[in-house]
C-alpha cells in the first residue's frame, strides 16, 4: 500500500544510539515520516569515557539528519520499579520487561505532548533473551495497551499490521522481517545507508552484570528506602557489607577515589589517608572496619604516620588509625579467605557467605562483593 500524507505524520522512536534503533528510524525517515527521538538514561547506564552511549545517541541523531531528540533521565520511579518489577528479573537484576513497559509509556506521553501518531522501537524478534522474544513483546504490548501503535520496523512482518500500517502512513512492504541474534543483516543495511559510526552491541545495562547485581540485591535487602545516591555508590570500588553496622566502599585507584569524593553525600563518611592508601567511604557505624579495610589495601611508606582525614557533611577531623585497628588491618582479608570459609566466586570478585571472626562470634561479618 502506498503511503499517504506521510510528511505530516509524526512518530516517536526510542533511540538508544545503537544500530537497531538507528536503522528503524532510517526506515521511517525514508518513508517521509517526521521522526522524533526519545532517549533514556538511568543510574544503571554503563557510560564510561570509552563507551559513552550518550555520545552514541548524539552521533545517531547526526547520522539521521539531526532529528529532534528528547532526553529523559530516569530516577526514583525507575529505581522503585527495579526493586519490585512486576515481571521479574533476567539473569542479573535486570527487569527488562518492566523497563521496556516504563520506557514505552514515557515515550507515549511524549507522543501525545507533540501530537505524534505512533511509536516505534528498534526491537528485533528473538535478539535479546528476556524482552525480545514473542511472548515478552506481546506481554509488553498488553501491559502498555499501546501495541497497535507500537511499530517495530525491523521485525514488522512477524507481527500483525499496526495502525500506522493499516492507515497507510507507513508502507508495510518496505519494512523488514529480521529475527534472531545474528547482526549481519543489520550491519549490511548500515553499509547501504552509509551509517558508519555506531557502537558495538552492548550486553545490556549494569543490572545485567552479576557482580553489580549481587551488590544491588544486598543493598535492597538492607535498605528500607533505596536512594539513587546509594545506587551510584554501588558501581564504584570494592564493596563490603558489615553485618548490622553498614557498608563500606574502598576505591581501587585514583579515579575511583575521586569518584567517591564527588559522590559523598551529607551523611556519608569519607576517609582520605594522608599516606599512600585508598580513599574509603562508609555508611553507618563501621569506622573501625572501614579503617581496617583501608589499611589492608594501603601501601604506607616506612615511617609515614598512619593518619586519615575523616569528613562527614561539614565536619572534618584528622584521626590516627588506632593500634588495634592497625593489627587487624593487616590480617582482615586473610581471615576472610580462611580455608573453612564458604566462598562463592563471581568473576574476579568473591562473596563471603560465612565468616567466623577472631572474637569467636559466628555469622556473616563481612560480605565482600
Which one of 19-27, 96-104, 237-245, 262-270 is the stretch in contact with ligand SF4 (CB under 6 A)? 96-104
Residue placing its CB nearer to ligand SF4 in the complex, 226 or 265: 226
Q: Minimum Å distance from CB 156 to ligand SF4?
A: 20
**How many residues can be counted in the chain?**
369
Cα 183 to the chain's mean position, in Å? 23
Distance of closest approach, residue 262 Cβ to ligand SF4, in angstroms = 24
Rounded Cα distance between 216 and 218, Å, is: 5
* Whole-angstrom distance, CA of residue 263 vs CA of residue 250: 13
How far is residue 246's CA from residue 300's CA, in Å, rounded to a whole number? 26
* Residue (40 or 282) nearer to ligand SF4, CB: 40
Tell me which residues in 125-184 interact with ligand SF4 (CB under 6 A). Answer: 131
C-alpha cell of 288?
Answer: 573501625
Question: At closest approach, how far in Å is the CB of 88 from ligand SF4?
Answer: 12
Residue from the set 3, 39, 53, 94 that interacts with ligand SF4 by CB under 6 A: 94
Q: Which is nearer to ligand SF4, 47 or 333 (CB)?
A: 47
- For position 57 contacting ligand SF4 by CB under 6 A, the verdict is no
Per-position x/- string for 193-232, each x denoting binding to ligand SF4 as judged by CB under 6 A, each - no binding: -----------xx-xx------------------------
User: From the CB of 47, what's the least distance to ligand SF4, in Å?
Assistant: 12
Q: Which of residues 23 and 294 has its CB atom nearest to ligand SF4 in the complex?
A: 23
Between 103 and 241, name the residue whose CB sits nearer to ligand SF4: 103
For ligand SF4, the closer CB: 9 or 205 = 205
Of 17, 43, 95, 122, which lies in the binding site for ligand SF4, with binding defined by CB under 6 A?
95
Query: In degrees rounded to 5, what are phi and psi of residue 270?
Result: -110, 130
Nearer to ligand SF4, 205 or 251 (CB): 205
- Helix extents (H) in 312-356: 323-336
Q: Which is nearer to ligand SF4, 136 or 175 (CB)?
A: 136
Query: 125, 160, 164, 133: which is closest to 13 by C-alpha?
Result: 164
What lies within 8 Å, CB to CB, of 359 at 6+ separation is none
Beta bridge partners of 281: 249, 270
Q: Which is nearer to ligand SF4, 45 or 351 (CB)?
A: 45
By the 10 Å C-beta count (0-12 exposed, 13-18 middle, 19+ buried), 104 is classed as buried
Give which of 266, 278, 275 is closest to 307, Cα–Cα: 275
Closest CA to 319 of 287, 289, 296, 278: 287
Stretch that binds ligand SF4, among 93-101, 179-187, 307-315, 361-369 (CB under 6 A): 93-101
Q: How many residues bind ligand SF4 (CB under 6 A)?
A: 10
Task: Tell whether the torsion through CA atoms of 251, 253, 256 and 260 is positive or negative.
Answer: positive
The SS3 of residue 294 is helix
- Closest distance of CB 98 from ligand SF4, Å: 8
Q: Which three three-digit cell numbers place residue 348?
A: 574476579
| Under 8 Å between Cβ of 129 and 90 | yes
- Smallest gap from Cβ 94 to ligand SF4, in A, equals 4
Which residue in 99, 176, 213, 279 binds ligand SF4 (CB under 6 A)?
99
| Closest CB 239 distance from ligand SF4, rounded Å | 20
- Grid cell at residue 229: 545516591
Residues that bind ligand SF4 (CB under 6 A): 94-96, 99-100, 131, 204-205, 207-208
Amino acid at each position: 500500500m502506498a503511503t499517504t500524507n506521510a510528511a505530516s505524520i509524526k512518530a516517536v522512536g526510542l533511540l538508544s544510539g545503537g544500530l537497531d534503533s538507528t536503522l528503524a528510524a532510517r526506515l521511517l525517515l525514508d518513508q517521509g515520516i517526521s521522526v522524533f527521538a526519545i532517549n533514556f538514561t538511568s543510574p544503571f547506564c554503563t557510560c564510561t569515557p570509552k563507551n559513552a552511549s550518550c555520545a552514541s545517541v548524539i552521533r545517531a541523531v547526526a547520522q539521521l539528519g539531526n532529528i529532534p531528540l528528547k532526553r529523559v533521565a530516569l530516577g526514583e520511579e525507575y529505581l522503585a520499579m527495579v526493586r519490585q518489577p512486576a515481571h521479574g528479573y533476567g539473569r542479573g537484576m535486570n527487569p527488562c520487561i518492566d523497563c521496556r513497559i516504563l520506557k514505552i509509556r514515557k515515550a507515549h506521553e511524549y507522543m501525545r505532548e507533540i501530537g505524534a501518531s505512533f511509536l516505534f522501537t528498534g526491537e528485533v524478534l528473538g535478539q535479546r533473551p528476556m524482552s525480545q522474544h514473542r511472548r515478552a513483546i506481546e506481554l509488553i504490548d498488553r501491559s502498555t495497551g499501546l501495541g497497535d501503535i507500537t511499530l517495530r520496523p525491523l521485525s514488522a512482518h512477524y507481527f500483525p499490521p499496526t495502525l500506522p500500517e493499516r492507515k497507510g502512513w507507513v508502507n508495510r512492504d518496505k519494512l523488514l522481517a529480521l529475527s534472531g541474534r545474528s547482526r549481519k543483516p543489520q550491519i549490511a543495511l548500515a553499509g547501504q545507508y552509509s551509517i558508519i559510526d555506531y557502537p558495538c552491541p552492548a550486553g545490556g545495562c549494569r543490572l545485567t552484570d552479576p557482580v553489580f547485581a549481587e551488590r544491588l540485591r544486598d543493598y535492597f535487602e538492607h535498605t528500607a528506602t533505596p536512594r539513587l545516591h546509594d545506587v551510584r555508590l554501588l558501581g564504584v570500588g570494592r564493596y563490603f557489607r558489615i553485618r548490622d553496622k553498614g557498608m563500606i566502599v574502598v576505591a581501587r585507584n585514583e579515579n575511583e577515589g575521586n569518584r567517591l569524593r564527588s559522590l559523598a553525600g551529607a551523611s556519608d563518611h569519607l576517609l582520605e589517608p594522608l599516606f599512600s592508601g585508598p580513599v574509603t567511604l562508609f555508611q553507618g557505624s563501621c569506622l573501625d572496619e572501614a579503617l581496617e579495610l583501608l589499611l589492608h589495601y594501603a601501601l604506607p611508606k616506612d615511617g609515614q604516620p598512619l593518619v586519615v582525614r575523616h569528613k562527614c557533611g561539614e565536619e572534618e577531623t584528622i584521626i590516627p588509625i588506632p593500634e588495634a585497628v592497625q593489627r587487624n588491618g593487616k590480617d582482615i582479608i586473610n581471615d576472610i579467605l580462611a580455608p573453612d570459609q564458604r566462598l562463592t566466586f563471581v568473576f574476579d570478585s568473591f562473596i563471603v557467605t560465612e565468616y567466623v571472626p577472631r572474637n569467636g562470634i559466628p555469622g556473616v561479618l563481612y560480605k565482600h562483593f
